Amino acid sequence: MDLSLRTESFTQDRRDWLGSAHGTDAPVSVTLDVSTFTAGTHYPDGYIKSGIPLGKITASGKYGPYDDTKTDGRQTCVGFLFTAQDVVSPRGTVSTSAVGSMLVHCFIREARLPVTIDAAGKTDLGARVIFV
């Protein structure tokens, strides 16, 4: 029996970027390719923030941050990360992938997103996502 002291930390997920609860009852499960995220931008506190726009990487089927300048599939915005995902362990190692959930139909308060989304990304989402 292991009775050693262990520490566990929990993230505080901010979802003030959501315009309503509409669509939150049907998120899609996704696997994130953590190597495509930038520590200082996407997970400065050890977790990838909810509200990050996502694109699907064609070769792997995993998801990374939407970026219109990429050519690996992430140039097409397909949804938003619904739940924050821990990617840095208490020992400081960064995960290679993380499983999360993505909203594909919702209302978004654009000004409260953790990163900006450009006009091309909004066009990719079509009428599935409404920006308020």
Q: How far is CA 125 from the centre of its chain?
A: 15
What is the average pLDDT across 119-123?
Answer: 97
Average pLDDT, the chain: 91
pTM exceeding the 0.85 threshold for the entire prediction: yes
Model pLDDT for residues 6-18, shown as the tens digit of each residue:
655 555 678 999 9
Q: For 65, list phi and psi in degrees, rounded to 5.
A: -65, 135
Measured distance CA(35)–CA(84) in Å, rounded: 16
| DSSP at 41 | H
Confidence at residue 10, expressed as pLDDT on a 0 to 100 scale:
56
Q: Locate tokens 């315009």: which residue?
A: 19
What pLDDT band is residue 91 in, cutting at 50, 70 and 90? confident
Residue 29, H or E segment: strand 28-33
